[in-house]
Structure 1
Amino acid sequence: MAKTQQHRLVAVNTPLGEDVLLLRNFSYSEALGSLFEMELELLSEKNDIKFPEIVGWNVTVRLALADDKTRYFNGFISRFSQAGQENGQARYRATARPWLWFLTQTSDCRIFQNQTAPEIIKQIFRDAGFTDLQDDLQGNHRPWEYCVQYRETDFNFVSRLMEQEGIYYYWKHENGKHTMVLVDDSSAHAAYPGYQQIPYYPPTQQARQQDYIFEWSIEQQVQPRIYTHTDFNFETPRSDIMASRKIDRKDGAEDFEIFDYPGEYTNVSEGETYARIRIEEIQAECETLRGETTARGISAGFTFSLTNHPRPDQNRSYLVTTASVSAAAPDYTSGGSEEQEFSCSFAALDATQPYRPLRITPKPTIQGPQTAMVVGSSGEEIDTDKYGRVKVQFHWDRYGKADENSSCWVRVAQIWAGKRWGGITLPRVGHEVIVEFLEGDPDRPIITGEVYNAET
């Protein structure tokens, strides 16, 4: 008799066909603003599955919920291996990840101008061929005059942009697809259907019909309460654009402050916005709630209300920030174990506390100077703005057209410069110039000299 996954706690659909692969064990881990990962242990009557027919393809795991409902976990197989035999069947292992994971496999050097971070992020996704995106952003994100992807993966590039702007994401799964949901405000989250409230009951041998939380731990830690930063805008050099934000939190610690420079902004309004995001990023780590549950609908990015906890102050709404799920199906052999196993552990945050992703993705640093070619509008020999800035075509920019749109305006260092005295040397279109980067930042080029080449 052919083995089937019908009426099992967990099952898998693959492009190989119905029940060609049988799901034996399954684990899934996810976190806000992160790639999820599925690990699958699979059995098959076929011991000669052709790997190209499964690697890179989309699969869906289905988990049985109460009331004959189903929760889906969808992803792309990023790794597949054959791992011996079990009861006469071939055993395979697979790892599935989201479509966003494919962006870890590509890297580029690219310039974006006068676009907001969400616009840049969406363009990267479109160019990679991915459109399963839901935009739930509510904030106003300022345009970046100049933003460079430099020798980094598409994934790292969009990740650091999101971290800078306080944007994060979570995943919604369906049968056959998964969708990234972009958010920047806690009001964008809702409960997983059917799991709006989950009661707490301490561990016991007594079987319960309803889903519940049986382990609950609370942790708070000292965190800075003040974030201050500043920057410099050469167009308004006398302006003080320092910005600061303080969180009013009551405990026995002092009001510790973090000060940073440069803040990567040009005016006080932008500075205040980023100061708020930075302090919210810090404060999101102040209190963490962790639990274990029988509830199969716990998922990062969704909320729930805890009830029946002996500490009244714990009976409130929470946003799930991380979740790990594991499930095992019974043996597929007659006389084998019929036990179906499920476990879920999670971490959560008070639903009223804004969540911001930690800035963990490093920004590339350009070590040392480069050369570039001065460019400008068609037919112009000298093309500058009122500050004597010029535009350049970098040798690594394969998308630039060597015209007035190739870069931002770049300041030119002079031998002598001051108010109403000094001298100015203007690089001409076609000249090769030496470009350095303030603090190694690809977004902050400055011309420090000119060099001859075989043509100039």
Structure 2
Amino acid sequence: MAVNGTRFTFAAGSVSRETFAVVSFHLSQAYSELFTLNITLASSDPAIGFEKIVDEMATLTLWQGDEIKRRVRGIVTFCEQGDTGKHQTLYRLIVRPFFWRSSQRRNCRSFQNLNIEGILEPLLREMGIFKYETLFRAAHDWREFCVQFMESDYEFISRLMAEEGIFFFEEEFLKANDQKLTFADNCTTTTNMGALPYNPNAASEAATYCINHFRRSVQIRPSKVITQDYTFTAPNWPAQYQDRPSKMAYQHAVYDVYDYPGRFKDEQHGEDFAKYQIEGWRNNADFVVGSSNSPQLQPSVSFNLTDHPRDDLNAQWQVVAVDIYGDQPQAVIGNEGQGTTLHTDFQAIPSTQTWRPTPLPKPRIDGPQIAIVTGPPGEEIFCDEHGRVRVKFAWDRYNKADSYSSCWIRVSQAWAGTGFGNIAIPRVGQEVIVDFLNGDPDQPIITGRTYHASNRAPGDLPGTKTQMAIRSQTYKGSGYNELLFEDATRQELLSLHAQKDMQVKVLNSKDVRVNYDRTVSIGHDESLVVANDRKITVEGKQDHKTTKDFVSLTEGNQHLEVKGDLAEKIAGALGISVKGDIVLQSNSKISLCVGSSFIGIHSAGVDIKGVKINLNSGGSPGEVILPMRPMILKAAAGEGSVFVSHCPMGDK
């Protein structure tokens, strides 16, 4: 059925408007879907070039007399040249919205610190879509890291819209070229077309638009959504939110949907996502279907139903989907006796309900990936307070390899405790293995590191295959610290290399056992402080050589026992200063010799011989050579030297 005077016209590409006559069409539209217009055309030209039509703009115009009731614009995505008759050739075309182009480009890219509008803008612009509008009533906060992974632009956008409770539709205007893509998150953005009376007995042609069939349906749908997640910045945060509908009198409240991970890291997103999910799952829990002769019914349009025998149905309804069928058989020569018909099937929900898309699955990354650690120019180690780093993924064609190439990514360590464990920050330029929590592209985590042709392992493999090493590299330098294990048979070795200083602190005992030789070489000074006793036992021979001065201070008694001979050779003078007695005792003989003079003391007597012997007359005593201790200790104290008699054991 159609209102009197209904007719259809069609224009496409660079061909003239008179080229095609509309034979029939089927237009299918719904919220958050790309509309499809299947149209059959008749033309007197049997060989219209596809290049003039395909991927070009097309417009279907619905008329009532000389008044335009609706324009549907899109691009021709399919063209079929059909049968050629005596006078005309049939063509079948498929027209899709300009937004359909986004379904033909699959991509991998990431977006950082952007909200939904910031993500939408480049995607639509790159597809040449500049006429679009975002009608948001709720806040849609920025996302730290949002990845499109092996998805078409359309799949990616649709998924994000579903997560944020946003629906989209083509908003049509009667003026030329004014159709635009619209994104909305609230039912208040719909347009009311006024009243449509209920008339189940309308003839095939009627003078006014009306509703011919109107049926209400309800069905069981999920009754509650529970969404949960985890964030390492607040590990004790419960991170669980739930939402249930207020109206659910016709079903039991036992149909829970548990969603983990919920893909939120803050309270606001958790609450919003739970709300959007339950409203998406229940977008068809209570709805009506009907038919009409009005071509103006379309998603985002509401109407007031009147004259229905059930008063509760005489209300305002919001159209969420339509299928419009138009037939104009007289466009084919020989069918002039048949008239134009138009039939619209629609689905609607109460106008006060905000329709939201059903949650869509997120792509999962099947396994780990390889990436390169990045940072600002000239920096070797680039991390944040959590030891996270940034990387450049191999699939990323957009971001530069710099300090903004990705989000901050956590690094798995061999051991992680509260204030203890293992820490090794991957350095700029190193290759790492990146996995993804629950396969989520938005949640990368570094689980390992690998060498490659330009970043070789230490040593010279395979020649050093028996070696195991932990080797670092000096920050912005060429030095290194290393712990090396050599496991070659009969060449086993443990080697420790410190590029500069080395500190060892033992809070209790330290035992060292060397079964063979031990060699210590010190290039400068050595200081040893022992707070208590020290014992040295040498079971063989001990050699000691001091090339300069030797100073020894004993603040208590000193005992020396030599079970053999004691021989001392002094090239200079010998001075001994004793405040008490000096006792020399020998079981054999004591001799004092200077030149040819001597004094000998033995058990048989005392022998004195000299060129001249003075007794109580002549001569003088020699000067005692004093020890260097006072001067040395004074200088050491002035320099803050560790040459002290007490070890600071209080430093634990």
Report what 2:213 is aligned to: 215
Report what 1:412 is aligned to: 411
User: Which residues of 2 match residues 89-108 of structure 1 at below 5 A?
Assistant: 89-108=88-107
Query: What is the CA distance between 1:269 and its match in structure 2?
Result: 2.3
1:26 aligns to 2:25 (yes or no): yes
Q: Aligned letter for 1:243?
A: Y
Using the alignment, how far apart are the partners of 1:300 and 1:394 within structure 2? 40
- The residue matched to 2:120 in structure 1 has which SS? helix
Q: Aligned letter for 2:243?
A: R
Query: What is the CA distance between 1:207 and its match in structure 2?
Result: 6.2
1:183 aligns to 2:184 (yes or no): yes
Query: What is the CA distance between 1:41 and its match in structure 2?
Result: 0.8
Q: Aligned letter for 2:275?
A: R
Using the alignment, how far apart are the partners of 1:287 and 1:110 within structure 2? 39
8 Å Cα contact 1:65-1:296 kept in structure 2 = no
User: Which residues of 2 match residues 3-402 of structure 1 at below 5 A?
Assistant: 9-14=7-12, 15-65=14-64, 68-174=67-173, 175-176=176-177, 178-191=179-192, 195-203=193-201, 205=203, 208-256=206-254, 257-332=256-331, 333=333, 336-360=336-360, 362-402=361-401
Query: What is the CA distance between 1:224 and its match in structure 2?
Result: 2.6
Using the alignment, how far apart are the partners of 2:204 and 2:319 within structure 1? 27
Alignment CA distance shift 1:8-1:292 (3 Å)? closer
Alignment CA distance shift 1:214-1:374 (3 Å)? same
8 Å Cα contact 1:98-1:178 kept in structure 2 = no
User: What per-residue deviation string (whole Å, max 9, x for no partner) do you get for residues 356-398 of structure 1?
Assistant: 01123x3221111111111112211111100001111111111
Q: Aligned letter for 2:410?
A: R
Query: What is the CA distance between 1:206 and its match in structure 2?
Result: 8.7
User: Which residues of 2 match residues 416-455 of structure 1 at below 5 A?
Assistant: 416-455=415-454
Query: What is the CA distance between 1:448 and its match in structure 2?
Result: 0.6
Query: What is the CA distance between 1:411 and its match in structure 2?
Result: 0.4
8 Å Cα contact 2:326-2:341 kept in structure 1 = yes
8 Å Cα contact 2:283-2:358 kept in structure 1 = no
8 Å Cα contact 1:366-1:441 kept in structure 2 = yes
Using the alignment, how far apart are the partners of 1:205 and 1:70 within structure 2? 21
Query: What is the CA distance between 1:39 and its match in structure 2?
Result: 1.1
Using the alignment, how far apart are the partners of 2:452 and 2:191 within structure 1? 61
User: What per-residue deviation string (whole Å, max 9, x for no partner) do you get for residues 325-366 of structure 1?
Assistant: 111224243672241111110000111112101123x32211
Alignment CA distance shift 1:107-1:225 (3 Å)? same
Q: Aligned letter for 1:281?
A: G
- The residue matched to 1:403 in structure 2 has which SS? coil
Alignment CA distance shift 1:82-1:410 (3 Å)? same
- The residue matched to 1:48 in structure 2 has which SS? coil
8 Å Cα contact 2:6-2:65 kept in structure 1 = no
The CA RMSD measured in Å over matched residues stands at 1.7
Q: Larger % of strand: which?
A: 1
User: What per-residue deviation string (whole Å, max 9, x for no partner) do you get for residues 78-98 of structure 1?
Assistant: 011110124521111111110
Alignment CA distance shift 1:206-1:403 (3 Å)? closer
Query: What is the CA distance between 1:248 and its match in structure 2?
Result: 2.1
**Larger deviation, residues 92-101 vs 351-360:** 351-360
8 Å Cα contact 2:222-2:257 kept in structure 1 = yes
Query: What is the CA distance between 1:264 and its match in structure 2?
Result: 0.7
Which runs of at least 4 in structure 1 moved beyond 4 Å after TM superposition? 204-208
Report what 1:3 is aligned to: none
**Larger deviation, residues 241-250 vs 407-416:** 241-250
Q: Aligned letter for 2:90?
A: R
- The residue matched to 1:142 in structure 2 has which SS? coil
Query: What is the CA distance between 1:135 and its match in structure 2?
Result: 2.0
User: What per-residue deviation string (whole Å, max 9, x for no partner) do you get for residues 16-44 of structure 1?
Assistant: 00211111112211000110111111111
Query: What is the CA distance between 1:68 and its match in structure 2?
Result: 2.8
Q: Aligned letter for 1:355?
A: W
Report what 2:472 is aligned to: none
Q: Aligned letter for 1:42?
A: L
- The residue matched to 1:114 in structure 2 has which SS? strand
- The residue matched to 1:418 in structure 2 has which SS? coil
Using the alignment, how far apart are the partners of 1:250 and 1:113 within structure 2? 40
**Larger deviation, residues 208-217 vs 400-409:** 208-217
- The residue matched to 2:124 in structure 1 has which SS? helix
Alignment CA distance shift 1:88-1:252 (3 Å)? closer
8 Å Cα contact 1:383-1:428 kept in structure 2 = yes
8 Å Cα contact 2:431-2:450 kept in structure 1 = yes
Q: What's the TM-score once normalised by structure 2's chain length? A: 0.66
User: What per-residue deviation string (whole Å, max 9, x for no partner) do you get for residues 224-275 of structure 1?
Assistant: 3322111111111111121111222242532222221111111222211111
Query: What is the CA distance between 1:455 and its match in structure 2?
Result: 1.8
- The residue matched to 1:281 in structure 2 has which SS? helix
User: What per-residue deviation string (whole Å, max 9, x for no partner) do you get for residues 178-203 of structure 1?
Assistant: 31111100001112xxx311111223
Query: What is the CA distance between 1:173 and its match in structure 2?
Result: 2.8
Report what 2:525 is aligned to: none
Alignment CA distance shift 1:69-1:395 (3 Å)? closer
Using the alignment, how far apart are the partners of 1:205 and 1:294 within structure 2? 10
**Larger deviation, residues 127-136 vs 205-214:** 205-214
Using the alignment, how far apart are the partners of 1:179 and 1:52 within structure 2? 25
Using the alignment, how far apart are the partners of 1:428 and 1:154 within structure 2? 34
Identical counterparts, % of pairs: 32
Q: Aligned letter for 1:76?
A: I
Using the alignment, how far apart are the partners of 1:167 and 1:204 within structure 2? 37
Using the alignment, how far apart are the partners of 2:128 and 2:204 within structure 1? 51
- The residue matched to 2:121 in structure 1 has which SS? helix
Alignment CA distance shift 1:374-1:334 (3 Å)? closer
Q: Aligned letter for 2:354?
A: P
Using the alignment, how far apart are the partners of 1:437 and 1:168 within structure 2? 29
- The residue matched to 1:396 in structure 2 has which SS? coil
**Larger deviation, residues 176-185 vs 288-297:** 176-185
8 Å Cα contact 1:203-1:215 kept in structure 2 = no
